[in-house]
Structure 1
């Protein structure tokens, strides 16, 4: 069977083409088809939706409405009035009801219950929508060798995320909240940040793998990379020209660092949400009349728990609402400035000549989304964190991260599997080395 004929067929062990070198015959590794890319991108979209729903659940203070974790039986909501009354009675034992919601009615309870219920059911749906197709593609040998271990790791993270979510909720149900003076019934900001961080990692992993899989397929079967066509011949392939370019290499590093900065900024936003820090200093660009709050507000000794005050600095960083908001502002503006710098760098002649048009357009997309995100963040602050604006702000952070994930994938070389396939499908007069 020739390689060219087998491209559009199933990648079972019987139909995988072979490389022939003299009398030695070597089977090509599996190459993930476009359906794998579609599945991964669809999974990423589901994770994006659960991040948004989770944000709304937090903003509407619905996250503590379900006081039990029932992975199987919890799939169904209360189906009768008696069942609703039972759930309501369980909620009445929680610190949130006893401290702040003691006047809530059953109809009001149903509203907050459904947000948390939707969040949990969507999490279960994501697990099923990811694990079963993963098993199918693995059994049918339709996963590239580089892809299988990454997707297996993501499947484990999905399971861990469910446990972490309940661990987070438990912190808001702790009875010690009742006996702690001036305590507010809410989940630990540390656990909330961990929960959001893992969700973002899952999203980025699914999105990145989906985009890389599609890019590999286009290169291996069509010779297309970043919208450019490879016509063969005795020359370096398109992606090699960019990989050897020093400004382009520095650009790749800058994209990776910026992506990390966006991730860190989003995680700091979880601390802002967990401490309701968006409700202090509702002004911009000042905080209390200056660019920074008074030092006594930033490093308040009352947050120290050790007698010698040695823990004062880090507790203020993570537990003081004023400091947490200030840190988030610094990270957000640093991210914004870095995104502008990255975009402007694509106009330098040396880099502009090295980067394909697709890459430059993605840099422009990231720049545009950063502007939208800054406007959403400022508006959320000035208008005292209304639910629609705050939810849009959280969604905007994931959208910005998405553009950078796509940008990073666009400046990567095709995978080893894709390069082996390309050399087999479209052999050149002088074979290219597999790097």
Structure 2
């Protein structure tokens, strides 16, 4: 009697003595149905190397009291009742059936993106990381309002002549920041802050080219699956939205009304700054997850994942599933804390209460300061504005979120150490925990030292790395996909 599993993608290598009816589990080969062989002259039909299939079940061979090795052909036959020959014809589908399925699926259809797509998306993610860090430096040096026009094409060129520089400087003098922040700066000082903003915008322009041109090429060459095309389109729209939000943010700091109020400080809206940074973090997260998913799918398709069925079963264990949900919530908490940090930056709230863990004479400022009618703008129903416009309240909220995030990640690290997690997940778990400590240390150091540029920039850069480690842990705990080739 002969019973086989589905087609195998790679040659089989069996070296275990299997009693009749037992299942064999091979390293790198998924589960299969058992095959029972008996009688003189019984044979098993093995597939050719490289034969593609929708799944990769393992073929179990059994013959009481017998053992063998199979590598695409029988290498030794020394006992009666063992396989005598190999015939793969049974594994060949009828030509008509294969042609029919080929016509239905289409020759160019892909189910796994090409590996180069993964390298490209991760490179794009690294560019977004650089843009976030440089954007933070631009804000810390108060350079973001030095270019007062939005010229996507002509603005890519840096002024070269003295006349061009003088023209840009005269434009800048027409706006409130020159009169209230950079009072009486020289042309040389203006060139420095202008370059910071110009370089930030040009990194964004370069990123647009690096993303859109290869994306169009990969799609035109059929190197991307249908799902991948949808993801690329979504990330492309996010990229365009990020650029538009960037100018919308800058324009909020160029309003002439800011110069008419004596107590008004020309700065961009903290709401728009937070939105701008949120889109950047989302773009970074989307590109990173997309790249990791491409690599994972290719490793599965190429049979480079050791014991995939064992790993799949492990990732579906109730304890691991529950832990993955907690990691998902913790990742969202990390992102929320990062966004509250953007609110702190937008209000310059780090320049007050520069001590830790206290704020003034206690753990928190007086309630009359945290919930002040001044920020309600005369509307008793708008006291909620204290949460987003009162620097003291915003800083306290960021402190609470930061410490909540730290203790949450610490608890998850302690719990994860006791779970049978895959090696990649353990690496990501320890990295996340270590980066959480670094983030807290940088945050406190930035605060107590009155926000020095180096500390503040490192604090923002590490927040991206912390988010990346949490995303990486979440990714390694996701269920393994079923790859259809």
TM-score tier after normalising by the smaller chain length: 0.7 to 0.9
* Pairwise CA distance, 1:158: 0.7
* Pairwise CA distance, 1:97: 0.5
Structure 1 CA distance for aligned equivalents of residues 422 and 299 of structure 2:
16
Question: Is 1:148 matched with 2:229?
Answer: yes
Equivalent position of 1:59 in the other structure: 140
Unaligned runs of 5+ in 1: 6-15, 232-236, 422-435
In structure 2, the CA distance between the partners of 1:281 and 1:129, relative to structure 1 (3 Å rule), is: same
Structure number with greater Rg is 2
Structure 2 CA distance for aligned equivalents of residues 143 and 29 of structure 1:
7
Equivalent position of 1:240 in the other structure: 312
Question: Is 1:404 matched with 2:470?
Answer: yes
Equivalent position of 1:12 in the other structure: none
Question: Is 1:344 matched with 2:414?
Answer: yes
- 393, 398, 406: which one pairs with 1:328? 398
C-alpha contact 1:204 1:405 (8 A) present in aligned 2: yes
- 288, 305, 316: which one pairs with 2:360? 288
Structure 2 CA distance for aligned equivalents of residues 21 and 244 of structure 1:
34
C-alpha contact 2:53 2:484 (8 A) present in aligned 1: no
Question: Is 1:112 matched with 2:184?
Answer: no
Equivalent position of 1:302 in the other structure: 374
TM-score with structure 1 setting the length: 0.87
C-alpha contact 1:30 1:142 (8 A) present in aligned 2: no
Equivalent position of 1:429 in the other structure: none
* Pairwise CA distance, 1:306: 4.2
* SS, match of residue 24 in structure 1: helix
TM-score with structure 2 setting the length: 0.78
- Count of matched residue pairs: 394
Equivalent position of 1:230 in the other structure: 307
In structure 2, the CA distance between the partners of 1:3 and 1:246, relative to structure 1 (3 Å rule), is: closer
* Pairwise CA distance, 1:4: 6.6
Structure 1 CA distance for aligned equivalents of residues 378 and 278 of structure 2:
29
Structure 2 CA distance for aligned equivalents of residues 159 and 68 of structure 1:
18
Q: CA RMSD in A?
A: 1.9
Equivalent position of 2:97 in the other structure: 24
- 1:77-226 pair list within 5 angstroms: 77-224=158-305
Structure 2 CA distance for aligned equivalents of residues 38 and 100 of structure 1:
43
Equivalent position of 1:71 in the other structure: 152
Deviates more, 1:334-343 or 1:404-413: 404-413
CA deviation digits over 1:152-172, x for unaligned, max 9? 111011111111100000000
C-alpha contact 2:316 2:479 (8 A) present in aligned 1: no
* Pairwise CA distance, 1:139: 1.0
CA deviation digits over 1:366-395, x for unaligned, max 9? 000000000000000010000010000000
Equivalent position of 2:85 in the other structure: none
Q: Which has the higher contact order (CA 8 A, sep 6+)?
A: 1
Would you identify which runs of 4 or more consecutive aligned residues in structure 1 move more than 4 Å?
2-5, 16-23
Equivalent position of 2:447 in the other structure: 381
* Pairwise CA distance, 1:222: 2.4
In structure 2, the CA distance between the partners of 1:52 and 1:280, relative to structure 1 (3 Å rule), is: same
